[in-house]
Amino acid sequence: MYQPVIETKRKILTMEKLLIEGGHHLTGTVQISGAKNSAVALIPATILADSPVTIDQLPDISDVQTLCQLLEETGGKVTFQQNTLTVDPKDMVDMPLPNGRVKKLRASYYLMGAMLGRFHKAVIGLPGGCNLGPRPIDQHIKGFEALGAKVTNERGAIYLRATELHGARIYLDVVSVGATINIMLAAVKAEGRTIIENAAKEPEIIDVATLLTSMGAKIKGAGTDVIRIEGVRTLHGCRHMIIPDRIEAGTFMIIGAAQGRDLLIDNVIPQHVESLTAKLCEMGADIQVGEDQMLVSGRKSRLKCADVKTLVYPGFPTDLQQPITSLLTQAEGTSIITDTIYGSRFKHIDELRRMGANVKVEGRSAILTGATRLEGTKVRATDLRAGASLVIAGLIAGGITEIAGVEHIDRGYDHLMEKLQGIGAHVWRESMLESETEENLKDQD
Ligand code: EPU
């Protein structure tokens, strides 16, 4: 039986805000957890096996809990203890999931590929998740159809039905992490060969392919833009260790560049954060790269401004665009931050302005002039990485920053408050007053 940790349960029941007293130097070691964006695909992938699958080092975040609950709803036996998850998918059924928990996270779309692969049918409500502007899933659907599924949208839920799945050649019009993984999930048990062209190359795709391969799938080319899959009849249980979270590591690298004094980031694959390392060095941060650690120290002199353009991997990740914007408020000169993946991922900008940042949005870019002194005030996280950006701003700012919308941060950062406290940050949570909770809910996307 899946048992969420008591503390996380509390977070869901009461609305809380995060408070930060900024300006303190941060030092010591921070341990990076397993990758959220791998976890949310690895968990649905377990559906495809016919015996128990164990995944080690999963992050303790609410997106993981939600997916575990969804697997239980469909008949899976789930245990999650000390970051190790075991799923016995034997008795799972093709239960429709048109509403409820699937709406809580975007990654519930991976249930489509996994259930289609196992049962040849699925009904999944259109996914929720961070509101970053339009987030279509047309490439996922194009892939499922190419594999032989009939896909319809009925009253806000996607219905997938196939008599049999067969291999196909699929060219993705847009490089998409989600579509690449979802097509892999559906194709590993399809009859014959599937080729995904213009596939995404993110490390999370390699991680999912590694799990599927350990389960008996035949996949070649994951991590390149052409993935070849030879369908197999059955997949079996296995044990898998998830990769470290490059976005969490990147968030702490930015924190280190802002306030760090020999901040050691442990359990990171340096190659996964190369684009960020290069950018932080360009700005003047001091970074030493080890085998699976990074030592980051911040401003000995003024940081330099820099332009940032988000791109697919190995380019600068969109998920670190909002966090690095907070750091750029401390850099001398004008920086231009352009998001080519999500052109309206700028909901944090108004909040940063409240704190004193000199920044405006024009089209897909934010134009920022620094350095400005940030002052703590009441702000609201509208999405996960906006939350990370406000946490960084709060650590830099003078006075106390109060961040509402903490539930977005809990979706993707494992014990962020405790990790920050461990390196010397003055950060704590408080329950929101009833009036504040109402205000927060009223403003929810
Ligand atoms: N796109 C389409 N059609 C599709 C799929 C995507 O037009 O069918 C577009 C999207 O609108 C976007 C671009 O393609 O402009 C890339 O989207 P992608 O599919 O790669 O994103 P995703 O799979 O939905 C994952 C992460 C996001 C991360 C992006 C980009 C998960 C669960 N989510 O989303 O993570 O920003 O890749 O790297 O893996 C986050 O962690 O905060 C987060 C939002």
Provide the number of structural domains found in the chain: 2
Domain range for 227: 36-241
Q: Judge if the beta carbon of residue 139 lies within 6 A of ligand 1.
A: yes
Residue 186 or 9, more confident: 186
Distance 49 CA to ligand 1 centre (A): 26
Among residues 419, 443, 444, 441, the alpha carbon closest in space to that of 432 is found at 441
DSSP annotation of 153 reads E
Residue 431 and residue 309 share a domain: yes
Residue 81 or 7, more confident: 81
Q: Judge if the beta carbon of residue 112 lies within 6 A of ligand 1.
A: no
Note whether residue 236 is domain-resident: yes
Say what the pTM is.
0.95
Residue 190 and residue 323 share a domain: no
Note whether residue 194 is domain-resident: yes
Calculate mean pLDDT across residues 84-111: 93
Q: Given pLDDT bands bounded at 50, 70 and 90, which one contains residue 7?
A: very low
Among residues 66, 78, 79, 73, the alpha carbon closest in space to that of 12 is found at 66
Distance 341 CA to ligand 1 centre (A): 8
Distance 40 CA to ligand 1 centre (A): 13
Note whether residue 296 is domain-resident: no
pLDDT tens by residue, 291-328: 999 999 986 778 999 999 999 999 999 999 999 999 99
Which CATH number goes with the domain that contains 387? 3.65.10.10
130 is catalytic: yes
pLDDT at 204: 98
Note whether residue 151 is domain-resident: yes
Note whether residue 280 is domain-resident: no
Q: Given pLDDT bands bounded at 50, 70 and 90, which one contains residue 129?
A: low
Residue 393 and residue 359 share a domain: yes
Residue 20 and residue 164 share a domain: no
Residue 53 and residue 98 share a domain: yes
Distance 322 CA to ligand 1 centre (A): 15
Q: Judge if the beta carbon of residue 408 lies within 6 A of ligand 1.
A: no
CA distance 264 to 96: 46
For 347, phi then psi, to 5°, come to -70, -15
pLDDT tens by residue, 238-265: 999 999 999 999 999 999 999 999 999 9
Note whether residue 378 is domain-resident: yes
Q: Atom 2, ligand 1: which residue's CA is nearest?
A: 136
pLDDT at 444: 41
Residue 31 Cα distances to 42, 105, 124, angstroms: 21, 25, 35
Q: Judge if the beta carbon of residue 18 lies within 6 A of ligand 1.
A: no
CA distance 143 to 437: 41
pLDDT at 298: 84
Residue 41 and residue 23 share a domain: no
Note whether residue 64 is domain-resident: yes
Annotated catalytic residue within 68, 130, 238, 305: 130
With a cut of 90, say whether residue 75 has pLDDT above it: yes
Residue 331 and residue 185 share a domain: no
Contact assessment for residue 231 and residue 190, using Cβ atoms and an 8 Å cutoff = yes
With a cut of 80, say whether residue 442 has pLDDT above it: no
Q: Given pLDDT bands bounded at 50, 70 and 90, which one contains residue 268?
A: very high
Calculate mean pLDDT across residues 151-172: 95
Note whether residue 311 is domain-resident: yes
Q: Given pLDDT bands bounded at 50, 70 and 90, which one contains residue 445?
A: very low
Calculate mean pLDDT across residues 26-46: 98
pLDDT at 127: 73
Q: Judge if the beta carbon of residue 316 lies within 6 A of ligand 1.
A: no
CA angle, 369 as apex, 366 and 375 as ends, to 5°?
A: 100
Residue 28 and residue 40 share a domain: no
Q: Tell me which H or E stretch contains 385.
A: helix 384-396
Residue 413 and residue 347 share a domain: yes
Q: Which of 241, 268, 291 is the last residue of a domain?
A: 241
Among 177, 243, 364, 408, say which to mutate for ligand 1: greatest number of ligand atoms within 8 Å of CB: 177
pLDDT at 155: 87
Q: Judge if the beta carbon of residue 37 lies within 6 A of ligand 1.
A: yes
Mean pLDDT of the chain: 93
Residue 59 and residue 12 share a domain: no
Calculate mean pLDDT across residues 353-358: 98
Q: Which of 241, 262, 285 is the last residue of a domain?
A: 241
Among 174, 185, 414, say which to mutate for ligand 1: greatest number of ligand atoms within 8 Å of CB: 174
Q: Judge if the beta carbon of residue 318 lies within 6 A of ligand 1.
A: yes
With a cut of 60, say whether residue 87 has pLDDT above it: yes
Calculate mean pLDDT across residues 403-425: 97
Distance 282 CA to ligand 1 centre (A): 27
DSSP annotation of 156 reads T
Q: Which ligand 1 atom is nearest residue 129's CA?
A: 44
Residue 210 and residue 80 share a domain: yes
Residue 194 and residue 72 share a domain: yes
CA distance 14 to 291: 41
Q: Which of 202, 217, 241 is the last residue of a domain?
A: 241
CA distance 230 to 175: 22
